[in-house]
Amino acid sequence: MRDLGTAHSTAAYLYGIDVPQPRAAPTPHLQPSIISCLECGNSYAALATHLSRIHKISVAEYRRQHNLPHTPLASLATSRIRLAAQRQPDSHESWTALRISELRRARGVSQQHFAALCKVTSTTVRNWEKGRTTPQPRARLRLQQLDPGTGS
Ligand SMILES: [Zn+2]
């Protein structure tokens, strides 16, 4: 079981998002960064794994037992981190100079044309292909869309 504080600061570091500080309890069992288990009273970032491991019950059973048909069983912060992770583009390390120039050549376009596709300047594309800079998140999303290998 990872320490909650560490898990959150790691997520904040990895995904570059602000994890909200706990505010004055909005509801008894849904706080911004933790959620309490009604079986044992301990608090976690999300309950599904804890429920199956410790109490040997499914989320569905837990919801039925505690009459919680619609309450989210992950804290707000965790849900946001999961969403951010799903939207997260490839890391900048994965966009090497070689991968970018190969992608551009596969499409048979000039640096200038490729720059237009990525909505950046041709200088930026030149810098990527020389390994001087790596694409920013917005450009990485565009690159992913252009890359047939990622299937999107
Ligand atoms: Zn519990």
Alpha helix stretches (DSSP H) within the chain: 4-15, 48-50, 59-66, 76-87, 97-107, 111-118, 122-129, 137-146
Using CA atoms, how far apart are residues 119 and 143, in angstroms rounded to an integer? Answer: 10
Give the distance (Å) from ligand 1 centre to CA of residue 38: 6
Tell the burial category of 86 from Cβ atoms under 10 Å away from its Cβ (0-12, 13-18, 19+): exposed
Confirm if 90 and 140 have CB atoms less than 8 A apart. Answer: yes
Question: Please, what are the domains in the chain?
Answer: 4-87 (1.10.10.1550), 92-150 (1.10.260.40)
Give the distance (Å) from ligand 1 centre to CA of residue 40: 4
Using CA atoms, how far apart are residues 34 and 45, in angstroms rounded to an integer? Answer: 5
Each residue's pLDDT, cut to its tens digit, for the chain (152 residues) gives 445 555 455 545 555 555 555 554 445 444 557 788 999 998 888 888 899 999 999 988 998 998 887 777 777 777 776 666 566 656 777 889 999 999 999 999 999 999 999 999 999 999 999 999 999 888 988 898 888 665 44
pLDDT number for residue 101 = 94
* Alpha-carbon distances of 9 from 16, 108, 126, rounded to whole Å: 10, 43, 35
pLDDT number for residue 89 = 58
Give the distance (Å) from ligand 1 centre to CA of residue 54: 7
Give the distance (Å) from ligand 1 centre to CA of residue 52: 9
Prediction pTM value:
0.42
Give the distance (Å) from ligand 1 centre to CA of residue 36: 8
Give the distance (Å) from ligand 1 centre to CA of residue 58: 12
Give the distance (Å) from ligand 1 centre to CA of residue 61: 13
pLDDT number for residue 25 = 45
